[in-house]
Chains A and B, each alone.
Chain A
């Protein structure tokens, strides 16, 4: 059974940093693109960024709103995906989901974690 479990959310002050983790199980982690998607309270879904798979050298892509502040990495030996968030702003407050790409460059997201809440506030 495919499972994705996020952790690491919490309350952080503006300008601070936080690292989210997503533990994967039930599939060959290195074969899949993995993405982060967020949802501000009461709002819609916003794509944050992507880590491509091993075959594509784990290259990354980011939304403009987080480029230069957020970094996606992964550790295939631990079947884990990470989101390092620096220089956090109040507008980064959201539930952060990790999601699995179905396959290839044009992947939709076939499995999602339950989400972890990040609150940026003084």
Chain B
């Protein structure tokens, strides 16, 4: 199975901060990576697909980059609505696997 490792697992930031979350795959997944945002008690919400494509309706402050085994999700200017948990997911190989999550909290 492909292991997805996210870092950090938690981070504290202030409104307006630039935030970067890293996701590493245990083997190459080309660009078959997605990023999701999840708030407590809610379903995940797709932010980025195929590593760098912004899902329709998602604010442009979110961006994704990377290929192969190293990927990043960047929030250019953190907003109050962005405090949540973020997951990466590889869509390349079965079984599909998720990273352990990064919880973004208020500093």
Contact = CB atoms under 8 A, between A and B. Distances in A.
Interface of A: 35, 37, 44-47, 50, 61-64, 97, 102, 106-110, 112-115
B95 A45 contact: no
A46 B49 contact: no
B34 A108 contact: yes
Contacts of B101: 44-45
B25 to A, nearest CB: 14
Given A102-B49, A106-B91, A115-B43, A47 B55 contact: no
A111 B100 CA distance: 21
25 contacts: A35-B96, A37-B44, A44-B87, A44-B99, A44-B100, A44-B101, A45-B89, A46-B98, A47-B89, A47-B97, A61-B94, A62-B95, A64-B95, A102-B46, A102-B49, A106-B50, A106-B92, A107-B91, A108-B34, A108-B46, A108-B49, A108-B89, A110-B49, A114-B42, A114-B43
Closest 6 CB pairs of A and B: A108-B34, A112-B43, A47-B96, A108-B49, A45-B98, A106-B91
Nearest to B56: A110
Given A44-B100, A102-B49, A112 B44 contact: yes
Contacts of B42: 114
Nearest to B94: A61
B49 to A, nearest CB: 4
B91 A97 contact: no
B9 to A, nearest CB: 10
Q: Which residue among B32, B50, B96, B97 has the maximum number of chain A CB atoms within 10 Å of its CB?
A: B96
A108 B44 contact: no
A42 B4 CA distance: 19
Contacts of B43: 97, 112-115
A45 B87 contact: yes
Interface in B48-77: 49-50, 55
Given A44-B87, A62-B95, A108-B89, 18 more contacts: A37-B44, A44-B99, A44-B101, A45-B38, A45-B98, A61-B95, A64-B1, A97-B43, A102-B46, A102-B49, A106-B91, A107-B91, A108-B91, A109-B36, A110-B46, A112-B44, A113-B43, A114-B42
